[in-house]
Structure 1
Amino acid sequence: MDDFEYATEIEVRYRDLDTMGHVNNAVYATFLEQARMDYFRDVVGAELEDVGGVIAHLEIDYRQAVTLDDDVTVAVRVPELGESSIPMEYEILADGEVAATAEVVQVAVDPETRESRSLPELWRDRISTYEGL
């Protein structure tokens, strides 16, 4: 987590578990979504629903199970902004150990034309100058 600039805590809910007693693999994407919402609120100063974006890419590599009793943290970094895209890299940690790594690319979309649009300069400035962890 040393190379990540932002982190947020995620609460594991009983409904997140599968019949094996660990967090279902599909729930990891929900953890990423929650971390993305927190990142946009805390770093960009925008609510995720106001961003007007779509997920163009999602990749998750699982390393270990997460259980109901684990303290879960999701670390986030933005390696390099595109013209209309925000690539984000994640580490999902369970009790301080890496449980999964992920990459998501979100593309800003104009709600009227449904075409990609340039990222606002304010977002670029806030993301590039953020000094979190």
Structure 2
Amino acid sequence: MYFPVRVPLEVRFSDLDTLKHVNNAVYLTYDEVARGHYLRRAGATIDSGHFVMARAEVDYIQPILFEQQVEIALRVERVGNSSFRTHSEIWANGALAARIKVVVVWLEDGKPARIPDWLREAIRTLETEPVEGL
């Protein structure tokens, strides 16, 4: 599977839990970092519009430990009327650590609104594999 965005991440000491591996909630933070990179590549800015996470699904495959080399890869796999779904993978020392799917909703005036055409076109341009709904 092709991922147009790949972001190297450094595991911070504060990411760890008492078992000395990355806390489960931090995986979503890592995903958010990659999603931010994706949206910037798509031309979004802090003033472009508002996004809110509506759903998150994480499959934890193996723990991530301090000082491991971590990379998160992200793509958009579906675009709806007012939302899009991302698929990402987190890799640690070359091994798959987690798969994440997130649904993000586009808001205008605090309410779900149609994803703008400029963002739809940017997603179409970034993705080399078919995106459902585009």
User: TM-score w.r.t. structure 1 length?
Assistant: 0.89
Q: What letter is aligned with 1:40?
A: L
Quote the Cα distance in structure 1 between the aligned partners of 2:75 and 2:60. Answer: 18
Stretches of structure 2 that go unaligned for 5 or more consecutive residues are 129-134
**Are the aligned partners of 1:36 and 1:48 in contact in 2 as well (CA < 8 Å)?**
no
Quote the Cα distance in structure 1 between the aligned partners of 2:116 and 2:14. Answer: 37
CA RMSD after TM alignment: 1.6
1:49 CA displacement: 6.6
Query: Does structure 1 residue 121 correspond to structure 2 residue 117?
Result: yes
1:21 CA displacement: 1.1
Aligned residue for 1:34, secondary structure, equals helix
Stretches of structure 1 that go unaligned for 5 or more consecutive residues are none
Deviates more, 1:9-18 or 1:46-55: 46-55
In terms of fraction of residues, the more strand-rich structure is 2
Query: Does structure 1 residue 81 correspond to structure 2 residue 79?
Result: yes
Matches within 5 A, 1:27-42: 27-42=26-41
Quote the Cα distance in structure 2 between the aligned partners of 1:17 and 1:50. Answer: 33
What is the aligned residue count?
Answer: 128
Q: What letter is aligned with 1:31?
A: Y
**Are the aligned partners of 1:85 and 1:107 in contact in 2 as well (CA < 8 Å)?**
yes
Q: Deviations over 1:4-45 (max 9, x none)?
A: 222111121011011111101111111011111111112x11
User: TM-score w.r.t. structure 2 length?
Assistant: 0.88
Quote the Cα distance in structure 1 between the aligned partners of 2:26 and 2:39. Answer: 20
**Are the aligned partners of 1:40 and 1:48 in contact in 2 as well (CA < 8 Å)?**
no
